[in-house]
Structure 1
Amino acid sequence: MEDNYTLILVDVPMIEERNDKDWYGTIPLGIIVTDKMIFTVCLEDTQVLTRFMEGRVRNFFTYMKTRFILQILYRNSSMYLRYLRIIDKKSEQVEEKLHFSPRNQELIELLELEKSLVYFTTSLRSNEAVLEKLIKLESIKKYPEDTELLEDVIIENTQAIEMANIYSGILQSMMDAFASVISNNLNDVMKILSVITIVMSIPTIIFSAYGMNLAPSGMPFSSTIWGFLIVILVSIAASIIAALFLSKKKYF
């Protein structure tokens, strides 16, 4: 507050498009109040003010400056709640995809949603400090209707904070759970590949021994015409025994 104007600075939610998908963030909105006029300053067009410009807000009058400011803040908190519900629905859709096939793309989407929730939580807490300071202003206390509206704004903002915290916790738990699932799947694949390597190494060792340049008289089954078939059967039998042993130990 200065001598002839008051500056109210809050964070408003926004949608930004990246890789043909909508993600959520926040940008600051400045409300400058003078004796005769109200200025709103924002880096981008925001849907918080769209309904006012379209005349779709009831009991909206620019000459009622305090009520107008509180209506903007109420609309801002409502937008947070709306975007939080959209984020929750998106996370449920991604979760359904992950149940069928955990991929990096879905995990990246969850990470983006988690980042949006972090932005929302931080901005909502900053807005909460602004609202607490507003309730101490004498200009608002003069009008009981405005005081009630400010209390509604505070309740709406508090509800948005709680929803953001709940969704953030659920999303973090979901990411940790699927990260564990992916890690377990990888461990299972590596275990199966290790078992296959062990089973297949037995015939390799036997055939490698017979492939060495040694005298035929010193090699088992070299004197019979069924020697090659016997060696193959012995290798298969040894592999089956090894596979049964590993299966009994529940390695796969």
Structure 2
Amino acid sequence: MRTYLYCEAGFVEKSEWQPNGWINVESPDADDLRFLTQELKVPESFLNDIADVDERPRTETEDNWLLTILRIPMQSTQNGIPFTTIPIGIITNNELIISVCYHRTEVMPDFIYYSRRKGLNVKNKFDLILRLIYSSSVWFLKYLKQINNDVTAAEKALERSIRNEDLLQLMKLQKTLVYFNTSIRGNEVMIGKLKSIFQEPEYLDEELMEDVITELRQAYNTVNIYSDILTGTMDAFASIISNNVNTIMKRMTSLSIILMVPTLIASFYGMNVDIHLDHTPHAFALIVILSAGLSALAFVVFRKIKWF
């Protein structure tokens, strides 16, 4: 689906493209791809690069076209991973600004709505790219808060009962943080590359660039903090699991020893030899009492050394 947007104190949708406008394409179908490649003459290689879900942030030029690939966050249901990152391409030349993303995300609609609410005046293509990076950073931080809440919920569940499902959920959240870390770092590196490309004074907005870099660094630092906390949490629960296994093994060993005492006595008195108790009244009761007493003594000893 493609929309034609024009900046009038924020981006408003038009029925067709106008000069100095922005063409936003999300989840392109065959008609959208035909429009881009045949009518607008967008290099097909650019679209193929954007379609690669593992594409890293970078720039590429072909003739008078410039491709800028960024990575933005989105919610995901694949393999149980709550969030992931995907590439978005901004394709520009002297007349056109085209953004292409092969997935529907919350970032683009939110950015358009925010531009209208704030009455933003996007001056040029570099300004638009910077604001998209800024918007992606905001969404990285939003999703990081949700990840932190998920980690807290998983920790509380693990405190009650250590289950494989809760540990696997922490591992998936750890994987999400790795995706976020590499994507944010890649977007930050892209700003330096873009600054060297758009060197003309009319493109540079130092205040906006400083805001974008600040937001990116905040997102990057937050990812690192949450990642360190999650790593420490997983290490702590791994130690707890190991300690619980050791405790169970000690209890099982203690129980085996306690039960072995009457078994050993019964084995001795079950031998086909003279045990000098053949004619003793209540011999069986005495043997049972002796076995129970020795087992109780073993239990007391194990409780004292905290094996029970």
Normalised by the length of structure 1, the TM-score is 0.89
Match of 2:167 among 95, 107, 114: 107
For residues 200 and 148 of structure 2, the distance between their equivalents in structure 1, rounded to whole angstroms, comes to 35
Q: Quick check: which one's helix share is greater?
A: 1
Q: Compared with structure 1, are the counterparts of its residues 170 and 140 closer, same or farther at alpha carbon in structure 2 (3 Å cutoff)?
A: farther
**Residue 249 (str. 1) matches residue 305 (str. 2):** yes
Deviation, structure 1 residue 170: 0.1
Q: Map residues 20-59 of structure 1 onto 2, 5 A cutoff.
A: 23-54=82-113, 56=116, 58-59=118-119
**Residue 79 (str. 1) matches residue 139 (str. 2):** yes
Match of 1:123 among 183, 193, 197: 183
- Counterpart of 2:282 in structure 1 is 226
The 8 Å contact of residues 13 and 120 in structure 1, kept in 2 or not, is answered as yes
Q: Compared with structure 1, are the counterparts of its residues 32 and 220 closer, same or farther at alpha carbon in structure 2 (3 Å cutoff)?
A: farther
The 8 Å contact of residues 154 and 166 in structure 2, kept in 1 or not, is answered as yes
Q: Secondary structure at the match of 1:26?
A: strand
- Structure 2: where are the runs of 5+ without partners? 1-60
For residues 142 and 71 of structure 2, the distance between their equivalents in structure 1, rounded to whole angstroms, comes to 15
Q: Secondary structure at the match of 1:173?
A: helix
**Residue 95 (str. 1) matches residue 155 (str. 2):** yes
Q: Compared with structure 1, are the counterparts of its residues 188 and 112 closer, same or farther at alpha carbon in structure 2 (3 Å cutoff)?
A: same
Letter in 2 for 1:224: T
- Structure 1: where are the runs of 5+ without partners? none
The 8 Å contact of residues 128 and 157 in structure 1, kept in 2 or not, is answered as yes
For residues 44 and 204 of structure 1, the distance between their equivalents in structure 2, rounded to whole angstroms, comes to 69
- Counterpart of 2:74 in structure 1 is 14
For residues 4 and 51 of structure 1, the distance between their equivalents in structure 2, rounded to whole angstroms, comes to 30
After superposition, give the CA deviation of every residue in 1:41-73 in whole Å (9 maximum; x if it has no partner): 222112221124556453445773232222111
**Identity across matched positions, percent:** 38
Deviation, structure 1 residue 109: 0.8
Q: Secondary structure at the match of 2:89?
A: strand
Deviation, structure 1 residue 29: 0.9
Q: Compared with structure 1, are the counterparts of its residues 221 and 126 closer, same or farther at alpha carbon in structure 2 (3 Å cutoff)?
A: same
